Structure 1
Amino acid sequence: MYTVRDNQDKVRVRVLQGESRFARNNLFLGELNIDVPKGPRGSEAVDVTYTYDINSLLEVEVKVVSTGLTQKMIIKGQDNQMTDDEIQKRMEELSYLKIQPRDLEENRLVLLRAERMYEEALGDRRKELDRYITVFEAALKKGKKRGDRGGQRGIERDPGRRG
């Protein structure tokens, strides 16, 4: 999510449950408002991570990309009888699930290698690498744990070999 107005200083994340195309037809579960640095529209982004547990716990975490500021909210299902301490312990147990794909070591290495290769490449190979890097990064942003394998193969192929 990105800011939509110049000098916007907050981002509101509304949490809804439902399948309707229209937000008004879904069940409102809660909302988080997080401060962001003012700037031109689109210059600030927030990452939203949802962690759901079989005990009807939903943790919503909102993080401002530029500052690292984070806010969390836990929503309990009606049937959930867990204490606050039990909920906290369970969320800590699930924290390993929250690693963003772009932060996984394997993906960071692919991107570092790709950037180095891009800096050294010329002409068509440079354009080709740019396309593969863009595809790989887009897959990571969509939450694919291992990026786009075709993009990775394109990055890693021998630059002297065609096809």
Structure 2
Amino acid sequence: MKRVLHVLVGLFCFALVGCSVASNEMAAGNIAAVNHVEGTAINWFSVNGYRASGGGGRQCCIVLPTRWRPGLIVNIEWEVDPDPYAASPPLGTDEFRAFMEVHKKNYRINSAVVEVPEWPDTKSCSMKVHFLPCQQVKVTTSCWGYGSPNNPIKEPLYMKEPAVCPK
């Protein structure tokens, strides 16, 4: 009887462990950038190696688990043009090519590891990557658009980059 009880307890624990393991199912979704920093441009960005242009709009794709789990992180990398409105010679000219060779030397590549906030089991939408001053990044999979009171990202657009960023 004791042996049967041990076997049943072992099976019960095994069943609990099986139920507690996060789903390994993955799904593809769109990614989008929202730049909050005034006077800069995000040339491109990537989330876990899935690259997109930083010009806005949703683009395909990123692969994430279908169910959120604690400790879920994403690796973000992005390129910033700190002076996207610089006056340049006419496109396609030798002068333009020379200008761009110098201009591109000011581009900065940044990276961050960001925790993904919990989303409801029933639904997540595209991943929005919000670029903030001081190379800070927030992500959300909220189905609410930026500016909605239900969207978790509240930082305003057109924020100025401070002269010195906090460490």
TM bracket (short chain) = under 0.3
Q: When you count strand as a share of all residues, which structure comes out higher?
A: 2
Q: When you count helix as a share of all residues, which structure comes out higher?
A: 1
Larger radius of gyration: 2
Query: What is the TM-score when the length of structure 1 is the normalising length?
Result: 0.27
